[in-house]
Chains A and B, each alone.
Chain A
Amino acid sequence: MKWWILAGIVAGLGGALHHAGWPASSAQAAEPPRRRAAEVREQDIAFYEARAARDRYGARDRAMLAALYLDRSRATGSEGDLRRAETLARASLGTRHARNDGAAAVLASALMAQHRFPEAYDLTAARLDADPTDAVTRATLGEIALELGRYAEADRLFASLTLLRGTSGVGPRYARWLELSGRSGEARELLHALRDSLAAGFRTSPEQLAWYDLRLGELAAHHGRPDLARPALARALASLPGDPRVLVALGQLELRTGHPDRARDLGIRALDQRLDPAALILLAEAAEASGDSAAARRYARALEVAVSQAGNGFHRAWGLFLLDHGQRVAEMRTRATAELGSRRDVHGLDLAAWAAFRAGDAAAAAPLAEEALRRGVEDATLFYHGGRIALVMGDTATARHRLAEALAIDPAFHYRQAAEARSLLARLGPR
């Protein structure tokens, strides 16, 4: 799951989870945070399983159990927990449909985690219809609209939440909207403020703080500020030692800043925790950057096997990886284009554009890249792809502008492509 979604859920159910014994950062300081949180979660699961078994109509118990399973699925990558979370949330809603926002929120998140965005949208839209004053539901619907590329709707929903952007249920989603509106600086400020507020709070878990630090680190890393990214990611790792998401984010930063050996070590440490396609991509690219093509092929093959049985949706990261390496281009183009039928967001558009370009069809790629860039998202990869496409289309002025913009956003946006962008710009010469 996108773990920014989960943080929203934890925040949304925060009060209830606290009553159920959600870990407080000030307690049990001598224990490793990851272990403590996992242990508490297991105790809570056992507690609510027993309660749910005793009372077959206990809607709240089932909602709490669903939230805990959802949390555990995020931590372990368990498919079974994700299914259990969905089933329990549905059972809870079946017993009590009204005033059961916790179960509905968990169900929406479980659906989003499975990339079932249209279902999550319908569910959340119905909740908002029932209570148009619920800010968290409004923000959740906005977040799903962003995923689906329904930007006008997302803009409208988030615009009405400006005064509530400092609250935990709204803030992370509002920051995501800012980021996808070309306002990354504001997103960063908001995330900082939310993090600081949480850090000063009473019952803030290390996981919550780590979530903010990871987001802040990634934002900085993708905006050419490794100096800000490293301490943020280091803080996240201190809160959650060994967390694979943080290790991969650090590894990506090391790879892009010219340290493939460090990236490989971080990728291996991430694999120690759990199999993660992001770690496999990192390892494949780090091996490639080190000149170890045999290892790169091994990791790429493992990635392919790991994601080969995907039930829902299309692996965009895998697709991008394959396209970058000129593999299975026709297949990836078909899949990326097909996905636009249900999700027309900027990254889906960019992937379809890049696939068309890699297939040698720049004419088809150009309008897709144009549409992807129209929103103004400050993402160097979008500009790089757009620049390459414009160049082949003979529009050198646009190509020059886009390639320069990619490097301005992040001079080290990719371990290989940033250098390619520089080389192309040098060849194009000044205006």
Chain B
Amino acid sequence: MRAALLAMVLAAHPLHSTHTEVREAAGGRLTVTVRAFTEDLRAAVVRQQGGLGDSSLARYARSRIDVREAGGTGIPWTWAGVRVDGEMTFLTLTGEARRGLSGATVRQEMLMELFADQVNVVQIRRPGGDASLLFLPGDRPKTLP
């Protein structure tokens, strides 16, 4: 029964989510890729920025995603582009964590201002071991081991 029930859940009840991958390469270079539903992202960016150009997207992403190194230094993000693939939009940002991501704090609040049921999945890929984080509305930043 459980399989039947589980299979039924997804499409019957729309879900609001984004997926973010934070990939750390040797030397601390970070690449952040966010996957979001285009329709939802557009609504959020227009609401906050009043427009939908790359600069608006970049400002919105920077305001909702925050990664701080263990000492509390925020990582400045460089806009690396956007790609729309069907219903999904992919945003890419790059940055550098000089001390690596161990002990870093992560916050991902995209679209939470729109949806009370927003769940943001963040996957950390790093040489020292992967980590999986979930962000819900009202969550505090999470610290990586």
Contact = CB atoms under 8 A, between A and B. Distances in A.
Contact of B1 (A3, A311, A379): A379
Contact of A382 (B1, B88, B132): B1
Contacts, number: 141
A320 to B, nearest CB: 6
Given A76-B86, A306-B117, A316-B8, A82 B14 contact: yes
B7 A302 contact: no
Contacts of B14: 77, 79, 82, 311
Interface string B110-140: 0000011111010100000000101011000
B15 A275 contact: yes
B13 A317 contact: no
A78 B121 contact: no
Contacts of B121: 271-272, 275
A275 B1 contact: no
Contacts of A381: 1-2
Given A80-B39, A311-B14, A222 B3 contact: yes
Give the interface size bracket for B toward A. Answer: 35 or more
A318 B9 contact: yes
Interface in B81-124: 85-88, 115-119, 121, 123
B17 A306 contact: yes
B1 A1 contact: no
Nearest to A4: B7
A213 interface: no
Nearest to B121: A271
Given A275-B17, A275-B121, A299-B134, A313 B86 contact: no
A29 interface: no
Main SS class of interface, A: helix
A239 to B, nearest CB: 17
A77 B88 CA distance: 11
Q: Is the interface of B mostly helix, strand, loop or mixed?
A: mixed
Nearest to A45: B86
Interface stretch (A89-97, A125-133, A244-252): A244-252
Contacts of A80: 37, 39, 87
B63 to A, nearest CB: 22
Interface in A275-291: 275-278, 281
Contacts of A28: none
A218 B9 contact: no
A307 B13 CA distance: 7
A349 to B, nearest CB: 11
B9 A315 contact: yes
A311 B19 contact: no
Contacts of B26: none
B13 A252 contact: no
B46 to A, nearest CB: 16
Given A78-B37, A272-B123, A274-B17, A221 B11 contact: no
A277 B10 contact: yes
B132 A277 contact: no
A221 B2 CA distance: 11
Given A72-B86, A347-B4, A313 B12 contact: yes
B13 A113 contact: no
Contact of A245 (B4, B7, B117): B7
B12 A114 contact: yes
B137 A305 contact: yes
Contacts of B16: 306, 309
B9 A278 contact: yes
A223 B65 CA distance: 45
Contacts of B11: 1-2, 73-74, 77, 82, 113-114
B13 A302 contact: no
A418 to B, nearest CB: 12
Most buried by B among A281, A309, A320: A309
Interface in B1-47: 1-17, 19, 37, 39
Interface of A: 1-4, 38, 41-42, 45, 72-74, 76-82, 113-115, 218, 221-222, 245, 248-249, 252, 268, 271-278, 281, 298-299, 301-302, 305-313, 315-318, 320, 347, 350, 379, 381-382, 414
5 contacts: A81-B87, A113-B11, A275-B121, A281-B6, A306-B119
Given A72-B86, A278-B6, A281-B6, 11 more contacts: A1-B12, A2-B11, A4-B7, A42-B85, A74-B11, A76-B37, A77-B14, A82-B11, A268-B132, A310-B12, A315-B13
Interface of B: 1-17, 19, 37, 39, 85-88, 115-119, 121, 123, 132, 134, 136-137
